[in-house]
Amino acid sequence: MIAADRLAPASLDITKIREDFPVLRQSVRGKSLVYLDSAPTAQKPYAVIDAVRRFHEVDCANIHRGVHELSQRSTAAYEKTRSTAVRYFNASSESELIFVRGTTEAINLVAHSWGRMNVKSGDEIIISALEHHSNIVPWQMLCEEQGAVLRFIPIDDRGDLILEAYDKLLNARTRMVAVSHVSNALGTINPVRPIIEMAHAMGALVLIDGAQAVPHMSVDVRALDADFYAFSGHKLFGPTGVGMLYGKAELLESMRPYQGGGDMIKTVTLEKTTYNDLPYKFEAGTPNIAGGIGLGAAFDYVSDVGLDAVAAYENELLVYGTELLEQIPGLRIIGTAREKASVLSFVMEGIHPHDIGTVLDRMGIAVRTGHHCAQPVMDRFGIPATTRASLAFYNTPAELDRLAAGLQKIAEMFA
Amino acid sequence: MILDDLYGEVIIDHSKRPRNCRPMADANHRADGHNQLCGDKLRLYLKLEGDRVTDASFEGSGCAISTAAASLMTESLKGKTKEESLTLLDVFHEQLTTDTPVRRDLGKLVVFCGVRDYPARVKCATLAWHTLKSALVTQRVTTDIVTTELVPTEMVTTE
């Protein structure tokens, strides 16, 4: 067993960080909780919990409407998150960041609004074989409606995208390339910069699904030259039900609203509506105000911790966890990409992932089992499901020791 | 230490060495079951003479709990009437999904009572039983069963 402080950079005090996350201080089934399921949703620090609570206790009012003090406070707090996001992702302006429910809604917004205006019969859209269902289904629906063709970048046995195949798929009919920055099922960090360059060279736009990337690495949308970048707040230690879509201003300007309603209008008569300016044009109705404010607190929290230190520490955890798991009899890690985020997906010979998940739960260890909303990835590896441990910077090597000991016991139980 | 109180000796044994895990050429009732959560797939065969189950078997793949459940179910059905089998199904289901006191007359099936603490896994333990219900209510012609393609089977999902 090794201590967290031996793996963590000097700037990260893991013990202190863990104190910021109240959920981690509990027992589950009589054992201290080991939470290795941060890819579906990450735990929330007090900074986020307190910001949401403060909104409900002190500032609660609807935004962009009232002239009274509370409405002004809540509007300011909500819009502050947007300004923070501009700096956080190095966007050009507040116009480029749309509040949405999460990555799924962000992708659907682009597929509906941009897609229906720009994708015609015979056009092509490229996604990858690594995608989460949320970056597959909206494009399937669009292609079906418009008579367009959906193509897939294949992956190799390690779980890396095959860029030579991608190069061959790109052509003058390609309108959009939509790929994940990091695979949720395998942890693969995709080479999104060259993917974007290659698409742009062919005149296609690129949407990056950043849901699994933003908790682990800093993202500069202008350095990437992404046309759209989507993420969910709750995977970035923020509340559920809020996320953002980044889009280049000129693209968003050219797009029709996704939903109609309050807040997205300038003037409404019974006959005609003038739409509001960006970003509000895409924000119909009362949004998740508390969530948006909580997300701002999450940006600040993660910035204070420091994403470079986080990435370095998580990589150490990944290496350590990989070594431990490789020693378990009959265990095979699925996803061994050259560049990986801190995801350990695996199968054990003759043992169903749901049995592994249930026995681990009885040991107080939370992992995800199943297809991870990425059935095409499972099909590619010829397996129905995996067990997946997904790590965040609040995890420790001691927790990975607990996981390995649990898996060792499971291997013996089912031997 | 090695054994766990949900995954106890009986469940582990029946998952690793399932009883009655074989196709049955002379079955006169058959049904397929599918649990989308775990990807468990099961085909249940029954031979009824009159109203009585004289043989029960299954084929399929799944998690330990669903395999053990199918194994123990087929053991417990032999000799029971249709009505007794359906009553046992109701009792079993109630044991897994409610807080009723554990019944002593369940025999080996009592090992599944721990599943009630894992609502997500109840479907695994009850798949074989749901499939049983479908098989019992759907009479199959014995001679047809060997040429399986001719006989559309009842599809049960626990979703």
pLDDT band at B61 (very low <50, low <70, confident <90, very high): confident
Of residues B6, B16, B64, nearest to A352 (C-beta)? B64
Helix (H) or strand (E) holding A300: helix A289-305
The CA distance from B150 to the nearest CA of chain A, in Å, is: 29
- A120-141 pLDDT, tens digit per residue, is 999 999 999 999 999 999 999 9
Is the pLDDT at B156 greater than 60? The verdict is: no
- A326-353 pLDDT, tens digit per residue, is 999 999 999 999 999 999 999 999 999 9
All residues of chain A having their beta carbon less than 8 Å from the beta carbon of residue B3 are 413
Is the pLDDT at B158 greater than 90? The verdict is: no
Q: What is the pLDDT of residue B39?
A: 75
Catalytic site includes residue A60: no
pLDDT band at B141 (very low <50, low <70, confident <90, very high): very low
The whole-angstrom separation of Cα A233 and Cα A299 is 9
All residues of chain B having their beta carbon less than 8 Å from the beta carbon of residue A414 are 12, 15-16, 64
Q: Are B45 and B53 in contact (CB under 8 A)?
A: no
- The number of beta carbons lying within 10 Å of the beta carbon of residue B137 is 12
Of residues A362, A370, A385, nearest to B4 (C-beta)? A362
> Can you say whether residue A306 is alpha, beta or left, with left for phi > 0 and alpha for psi between -120 and 50 degrees?
left
**Which is higher by pLDDT, A261 or B148?**
A261
Q: What is the pLDDT of residue B151?
A: 35
Helix (H) or strand (E) holding A76: helix A69-89
All residues of chain A having their beta carbon less than 8 Å from the beta carbon of residue B62 are 352
- A147-176 pLDDT, tens digit per residue, is 999 999 999 999 999 999 999 999 999 999
CATH superfamily, domain at A4-32+306-413: Aspartate Aminotransferase, domain 1 (3.90.1150.10)
Query: Which residue type does A277 have?
Result: D
At B34, phi and psi to the nearest 5? -145, 130
- B35-47 pLDDT, tens digit per residue, is 877 778 899 999 9
Helix (H) or strand (E) holding A54: helix A46-54
Residue of B nearest to A410 (CA): B2
Q: Which of B21-30, B99-108, B115-124 shows the lowest per-residue confidence on average (mean pLDDT)?
A: B99-108
- B80-102 pLDDT, tens digit per residue, is 999 999 999 999 999 999 888 88
**E strands in A233-367:** 243-247, 265-268, 273-275, 331-333, 343-348, 365-366
Answer whether B38 sits within 8 Å of A352, measured CB to CB. Answer: yes
Answer whether B64 sits within 8 Å of A355, measured CB to CB. Answer: yes
Q: How confident is the model over B3-9, as a mean pLDDT? A: 76
Of residues B2, B6, B15, nearest to A362 (C-beta)? B6
- A358-399 pLDDT, tens digit per residue, is 999 999 999 999 888 888 998 899 998 899 999 999 999 999
| SS3 at position B125 | helix
Answer whether B64 sits within 8 Å of A384, measured CB to CB. Answer: no
The CA distance from A374 to the nearest CA of chain B, in Å, is: 14
Q: Are A91 and A249 in contact (CB under 8 A)?
A: no
Q: What is the pLDDT of residue A415?
A: 87
All residues of chain B having their beta carbon less than 8 Å from the beta carbon of residue A370 are 37
Is the pLDDT at B2 greater than 60? The verdict is: no
Tell me the DSSP string of B30-92.
EEEEEETTTTEEEEEEEEEETTEEEEEEEEEE--HHHHHHHHHHHHHHTT-BHHHHHHHHHHH
Report yes or no on whether pTM surpasses 0.90. Answer: yes
Answer whether B3 sits within 8 Å of A412, measured CB to CB. Answer: no
Which has the closest alpha carbon to A140: A114, A108, A163, A169?
A108
- A48-59 pLDDT, tens digit per residue, is 999 999 999 999
Of residues B6, B12, B65, nearest to A414 (C-beta)? B12
Alpha helices by DSSP H, listed for A155-288, are 163-169, 192-201, 221-224, 249-254
Active-site entry in A373, A375, A383, A401: A373
**Which is higher by pLDDT, B118 or A96?**
A96
The CA distance from B12 to the nearest CA of chain A, in Å, is: 7
Answer whether B63 sits within 8 Å of A354, measured CB to CB. Answer: yes
Q: What is the pLDDT of residue A262?
A: 86
Average pLDDT, chain A: 96
Answer whether A412 sits within 8 Å of B65, measured CB to CB. Answer: no
ipTM above 0.85, yes or no: no
Whether chain A has a CB inside 8 Å of the CB on B118: the answer is yes
The whole-angstrom separation of Cα B60 and Cα B58 is 7
Percent of chain A scored above 70 by pLDDT? 100
In chain A, what are the domain boundaries? 4-32+306-413, 49-304
Q: What is the pLDDT of residue B144?
A: 35
- A294-315 pLDDT, tens digit per residue, is 999 999 999 999 999 999 999 9
Q: CATH classification of A49-304 is 3.50.50.60, yes or no?
A: no
Q: What is the pLDDT of residue B99?
A: 87
The whole-angstrom separation of Cα A357 and Cα B48 is 38
Tell me the DSSP string of A90-154.
T-S-GGGEEEESSHHHHHHHIIIIIHHHH--TT-EEEEETT--GGGTHHHHHHHHHHT-EEEEE-
In order of their start, the domains of chain B are: 9-141 (3.90.1010.10)
Q: To probe the interface with A, which of B1, B4, B10, B35 has the most A CB atoms within 10 Å?
A: B4
Is residue B10 classed exposed, middle or buried when 0-12, 13-18 and 19+ CB atoms within 10 A define those classes? middle
The whole-angstrom separation of Cα A105 and Cα A115 is 14
- A207-235 pLDDT, tens digit per residue, is 999 999 999 999 999 999 999 999 999 99
Is the pLDDT at B159 greater than 50? The verdict is: no
Is the pLDDT at A100 greater than 50? The verdict is: yes
Helix (H) or strand (E) holding A207: strand A205-209
* Cis-peptide, bond into residue A279, ω within 30° of zero: yes
